[in-house]
């Protein structure tokens, strides 16, 4: 390799010209500091008195920093290096008089010094480049490790691979395994910078040696191709030009890398096409392809192999995360099914509440005004809201089913017992009626019988009417309605009456518990049953607390716990107020009440029209029970219409 010797225009090199030529040392006269640069060869500057005056110390230092070297030439009478000469930058300093031999020895030393400097500089540059590459791969690895959505992850992998390799195009394949069939390779993604409108159509291909991607997937080895149109004649794989011809493209250099997991299994293939000198250059003409496209270097293979390894781990993690999501989704679905099978009348309630709560959260996210203008929800936070809403009633599995599905004030067996009692009393009264007739005839014959019968029949009919009224009052009172004070007086009078049992024991028409249940003034539950129903909230919380949630999902139990709390503290189970109730819970409370009001007819209530439901809820907002702004968002965004989708 030749070297370069720089000197001032008037410096005489003729005494050593032959020696310089024999050692392949090219000489160049430097007229100004602008010419004082080192090229890719070892470069030495002769720093004589003229050069000291011609060049600044800064330009001389820049030459040395660029990998050059220099020897100082003293003037007549100079015994040592002058103060203005940077001695630490000199390889040698010659004091006149000196001969050609001394000059050549000094030059050889300086050229060795320059070669060493250039090697060190190259190593520093390469080291810095390696550091940048490692930093870049680390940054990419961190980014890949935090992305869980598979489609976004694949796009990120391909984009980063194209960027660090200066590739114009690329594609990504994933290995698909179906039980009972051979694995296949699915074409999942493609980027083409110069043809951004090129359509993507997913397809599968066999993993064998016939295609380039299939070959790499089958062998697990990277494949570097300088020109896809001119493959060696002895290779097994071929390149299909049809896509190039269809879109006026030309595939030249290719790098195809397997993505291998920790088990040494190929899970996908990363393919890069047409490495360019300039990443932003578009390949439009034949000349563009000729001047821009270069082969993939061994270092590029190393880089992409490292990225492919990171990508494989990230893809597997994403697929595992997706699998866990599906598993958890199945668990949630099973849990909701278990709830609704215990109470078929509320079928679909959990799903509707979840849909509307997510909708109100997204609507709140979009609002640009009011108390919640800065409130935003990430994808993970929306998932938390959805799961909390789906599971908010799971604690009902801890409530007795007869209480859970109680549609009337009396349980069916209790009502049946009263009906049987009514029938027994009625039959007993009829028996007494006929026995009294027979006894009269036996004792008195026909004398006065007609008058006696008329009176007895009148009393009997009144008794039957009274019994029928008793049963009618029981049936009417059994309906869960809100009744005014004193409306149970007639019923309670019957509770004070008695009838003789078979053994002659006097028993009440209504037991104390039956009378208590029938006189419930609101709904169908007594106080103990109402508390049992309300306990489902605590059951939900305790159950959800047992699940080892990930960090992102840890808020689910707390959000679900408070869906019956009210802002004024009159809710349950803890009676918390205002901002102590999570905003997600306040959203769920609104949707839970709305669905309870508008859901299809149930045995204990009729469905309320939407406008009526909104009016009822507006009253609760005015009463300080529901969040004003969240209800306004719910109303204005017509969140309930999300159920139609």
Question: How far apart (Å, rounded) are the C-alpha atoms in residues 482 and 474?
Answer: 15
Question: How far apart (Å, rounded) are the C-alpha atoms in residues 300 and 306?
Answer: 10
469 and 599, same domain (yes or no): no
Domain that holds residue 486: 412-521
Q: What is the pLDDT of residue 458?
A: 94
166 and 310, same domain (yes or no): yes
326 in a domain, yes or no? no
Q: What is the pLDDT of residue 615?
A: 93
Distances (CA, A) of 235 to 87, 208, 227: 61, 13, 14
DSSP assigned state of 211: B
336 in a domain, yes or no? no
243 and 264, same domain (yes or no): yes
Residues of 199-208 as b/e, b for ≥16 C-beta within 10 angstroms? eeeeeeeebe
| Neighbouring C-alpha atoms within 13 Å toward the C-beta of 41 | 15
What is the average pLDDT across 191-214? 90
475 and 555, same domain (yes or no): no
Q: What is the pLDDT of residue 67?
A: 79
Helix, coil or strand: residue 45: strand
589 and 444, same domain (yes or no): no
What is the average pLDDT across 420-436? 92
Task: Report residue 228: phi and psi, to 5°.
Answer: -65, -20
For tokens 């194209």, what's the residue?
A: 162
Distances (CA, A) of 308 to 98, 151, 165, 200, 301: 62, 16, 13, 22, 10
Domain count, the chain: 4
271 and 218, same domain (yes or no): yes
pLDDT in tens, 521-576: 888 888 898 888 889 999 999 999 998 888 888 999 999 999 999 999 999 999 99
399 and 417, same domain (yes or no): no
Question: How far apart (Å, rounded) are the C-alpha atoms in residues 43 and 16?
Answer: 17
The answer to whether the beta carbons of residues 52 and 26 sit under 8 Å apart is: no
Q: Among residues 291, 403, 355, 385, which one has the least CA distance to residue 594?
A: 355
For residue 513, whether the previous peptide bond is cis, meaning omega lies within 30 degrees of 0, is no
Contacts of 576 (CB under 8 A, 6+ apart): 562, 565, 569
490 and 575, same domain (yes or no): no
Confidence category of residue 588, pLDDT binned at 50, 70, 90: very high
Residues of 120-136 as b/e, b for ≥16 C-beta within 10 angstroms? eeeeeeeeeeeeeeeee
Helix, coil or strand: residue 603: coil
526 in a domain, yes or no? no
Q: Specify the range with the lowest mean pLDDT, choosing from 7-21, 230-244, 331-345, 598-612.
A: 598-612
Q: Specify the range with the lowest mean pLDDT, choosing from 4-8, 277-281, 542-546.
A: 4-8
The answer to whether the beta carbons of residues 214 and 205 sit under 8 Å apart is: yes
Confidence category of residue 356, pLDDT binned at 50, 70, 90: very high
Helix, coil or strand: residue 256: strand
Q: Which of 78, 103, 122 is where one domain is finished?
A: 122
138 in a domain, yes or no? no
334 in a domain, yes or no? no
Confidence category of residue 421, pLDDT binned at 50, 70, 90: very high
Q: What is the pLDDT of residue 484?
A: 46
51 in a domain, yes or no? yes
501 in a domain, yes or no? yes
Rg (CA), the chain: 47
284 and 168, same domain (yes or no): yes
231 and 316, same domain (yes or no): yes
Task: Report residue 508: phi and psi, to 5°.
Answer: -75, 150
Q: What is the pLDDT of residue 168?
A: 96
pLDDT in tens, 53-77: 888 878 888 888 877 888 888 887 7
Q: Among residues 415, 388, 400, which one has the least CA distance to residue 343?
A: 400
What is the average pLDDT across 380-398? 91
478 and 351, same domain (yes or no): no
CATH assignment of the domain containing 350:
1.10.3210.10
CATH assignment of the domain containing 38:
3.40.50.2300
137 in a domain, yes or no? no
Question: How far apart (Å, rounded) are the C-alpha atoms in residues 226 and 327?
Answer: 46
Q: What is the pLDDT of residue 129?
A: 66
Q: What is the pLDDT of residue 83?
A: 66
- Percent of the chain residues past pLDDT 70, beyond the cut: 94
- Percent of the chain residues past pLDDT 90, beyond the cut: 43
CATH assignment of the domain containing 316:
3.30.450.40
Please state the length of the chain.
645
What is the average pLDDT across 146-155? 79
The answer to whether the beta carbons of residues 509 and 425 sit under 8 Å apart is: yes
262 and 225, same domain (yes or no): yes
State the pTM of this model. 0.63
Q: Which of 521, 549, 580 is where one domain is finished?
A: 521
Which range, 22-31, 258-267, 462-471, has the best average confidence (pLDDT)?
462-471
Work out the mean pLDDT of the chain and round it to a whole number: 87
Q: Which of 103, 122, 141 is where one domain is finished?
A: 122
Q: What is the pLDDT of residue 172?
A: 93
pLDDT in tens, 104-143: 998 999 888 888 888 888 777 767 667 666 677 667 666 6
Question: How far apart (Å, rounded) are the C-alpha atoms in residues 484 and 481?
Answer: 10
């Amino acid at each position: 390799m030749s070297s370069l010797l720089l000197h001032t225009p008037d410096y005489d090199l003729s005494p050593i010209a032959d020696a310089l030529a024999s050692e392949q040392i090219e000489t160049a006269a430097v007229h100004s500091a602008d010419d004082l640069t080192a090229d890719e060869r070892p470069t030495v500057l002769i720093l004589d008195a003229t050069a000291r005056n011609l060049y600044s110390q800064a330009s001389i230092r820049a030459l040395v920093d660029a990998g050059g070297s220099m020897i100082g030439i003293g003037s007549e009478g100079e015994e040592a290096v002058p103060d203005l000469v940077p001695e630490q930058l000199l390889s040698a300093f010659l004091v006149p008089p000196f001969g050609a031999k001394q000059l050549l020895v000094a030059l050889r030393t300086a050229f060795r010094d320059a070669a060493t400097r250039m090697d060190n500089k190259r190593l520093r540059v390469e080291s810095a480049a390696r550091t940048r590459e490692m930093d870049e791969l680390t940054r990419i690895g961190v980014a890949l490790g935090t992305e869980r959505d598979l489609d976004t992850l694949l796009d990120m992998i391909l984009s980063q691979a194209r960027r660090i390799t200066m590739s114009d195009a690329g594609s990504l394949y994933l290995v698909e395994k179906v039980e009972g069939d051979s694995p296949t390779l699915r074409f999942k993604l493609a980027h083409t910078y110069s043809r951004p409108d090129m359509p993507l159509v997913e397809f599968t291909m066999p993993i064998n040696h016939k295609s380039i991607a299939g070959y790499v997937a089958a062998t697990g080895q990277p494949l570097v191709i300088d020109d896809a149109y001119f493959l060696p004649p002895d290779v097994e794989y071929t390149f299909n030009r049809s896509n190039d011809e269809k879109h006026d493209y030309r595939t030249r250099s290719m790098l195809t890398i397997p993505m291998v997991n920790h088990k040494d299994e190929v899970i996908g293939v990363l393919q890069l096409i047409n490495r360019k000198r300039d990443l932003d250059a578009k390949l439009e003409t034949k000349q563009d392809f000729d001047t821009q496209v270069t082969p993939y270097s061994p270092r590029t293979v190393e880089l992409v192999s490292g990225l492919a390894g990171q990508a494989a781990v990230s893809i597997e993690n994403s697929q595992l995360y997706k699998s866990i999501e599906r598993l958890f989704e199945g668990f949630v679905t099973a849990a909701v099914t278990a709830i609704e099978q215990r109470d078929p009348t509320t079928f679909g309630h959990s799903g509707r509440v979840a849909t509307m709560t997510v909708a109100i959260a997204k609507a709140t996210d979009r609002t640009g005004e009011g108390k919640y203008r800065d409130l935003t929800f990430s994808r993970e936070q929306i998932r938390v809201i959805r799961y909390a809403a789906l599971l908010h009633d799971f604690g009902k599995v801890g409530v007795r089913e007869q209480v859970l599905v109680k549609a009337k004030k009396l349980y069916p067996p209790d009502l049946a017992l009263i009906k049987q009692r009514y029938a027994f009393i009625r039959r007993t009264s009829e028996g007494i009626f006929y026995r009294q007739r027979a006894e009269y005839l036996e004792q008195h014959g026909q004398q006065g019988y007609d008058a006696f019968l008329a009176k007895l029949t009148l009393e009997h009919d009144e008794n039957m009417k009274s019994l029928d009224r008793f049963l009618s009052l029981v049936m009417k009172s059994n309906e869960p309605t809100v009744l005014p004070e004193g409306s149970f007086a007639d019923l309670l009078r019957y509770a004070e009456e008695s009838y003789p049992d078979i053994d002659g024991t006097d028993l009440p028409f209504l037991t104390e518990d039956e009378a208590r249940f029938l006189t419930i003034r609101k709904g169908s539950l007594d106080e103990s049953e109402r508390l049992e129903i309300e306990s489902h909230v605590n059951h939900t919380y305790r159950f959800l607390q047992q699940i080892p949630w990930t960090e992102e999902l840890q808020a689910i139990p707390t959000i679900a716990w408070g869906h019956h709390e009210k802002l004024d503290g009159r809710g349950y189970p803890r009676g918390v107020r205002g901002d102590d109730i999570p905003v997600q819970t306040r959203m769920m409370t609104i949707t839970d009440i709305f669905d309870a009001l508008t859901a299809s007819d149930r045995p204990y209530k009729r469905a309320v029209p939407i406008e009526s439901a909104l009016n009822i809820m507006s009253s609760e907002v005015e009463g300080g029970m529901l969040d004003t702004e969240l209800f306004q968002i719910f109303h204005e965004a017509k969140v309930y219409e999300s159920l139609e989708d």
